[in-house]
Amino acid sequence: MLPNYQMQKAPLSSVKGITLLAILAALSVAGRIALSFIPNVQPVTTIVILMTIVMGLRYGLLLAIIVMILSNMVLGIGIWTLPQIIAYCAIVVVTSIFMRPLFSKLSLFMMALYAGFTGLLYGFIISLCQIPLYGSTYFLAYYLAGIPFDTLHAIGNFVFYFVLAPLLLPLLHKLINQHFDKS
């Protein structure tokens, strides 16, 4: 499935965009909460990547922010919520700039590798966001302490991409073609 450049230009206030955001946000939040007993293994990153590939930067950013706020309302909101939002927004920007234009040329395996990489990127950005709290002196220690969790996140993203991309991409394509292109 190729990125939908027509839907990328759809206003965020459109019923089409809101419907798709709501469906994917609900799926992401439910998946994050259901798998919260496994540290850092969740479908959120993969779903955010897929949304960004299909719908573009604005939709990816909005989905990431909505999912983090809603899921943290259940799992706990704290000083970690803003760094989580920042990290997911960075993943959306990287996906939009580098992966979206190349998506049709990349294999499922390469995209799954990228999804795995975003787990490591997420952890690095979270660690960078802690510098104002702990100081740059402790950055390396904080980052290294998080590597086992980042590795779990990367492995989870890799597996979730392999499972969810072949299921969600055709569904999103069908949904967009049947319901969203008929304005």
**pLDDT given for residue 179 in this prediction:** 59
How far is 14 from 180, CA to CA, in rounded Å?
10
**pLDDT given for residue 180 in this prediction:** 56
**pLDDT given for residue 82 in this prediction:** 97
**Tens digits of residue pLDDT in 51-84:** 999 989 999 999 999 999 999 999 999 999 999 9
Distance of CA 142 to the CA centre of its chain: 23
Which residue from 96, 92, 145 is spatially nearest to 122, judged by alpha carbons? 92
**pLDDT given for residue 182 in this prediction:** 53
pLDDT at 178 over 80: no
**pLDDT given for residue 12 in this prediction:** 76
**Tens digits of residue pLDDT in 84-142:** 999 999 999 999 999 999 999 999 999 999 999 999 999 999 999 999 998 899 999 99
β strands within the chain, DSSP E:
none
- Binning pLDDT at 50, 70 and 90, where does residue 16 land? confident
End-to-end CA distance of the chain: 21
Whole-structure pTM value: 0.92
- Binning pLDDT at 50, 70 and 90, where does residue 6 land? low
How far is 14 from 133, CA to CA, in rounded Å?
39
Which residue from 20, 122, 105 is spatially nearest to 63, judged by alpha carbons? 20
How far is 128 from 166, CA to CA, in rounded Å?
33
- Binning pLDDT at 50, 70 and 90, where does residue 17 land? confident
- Binning pLDDT at 50, 70 and 90, where does residue 4 land? low
pLDDT at 157 over 80: yes
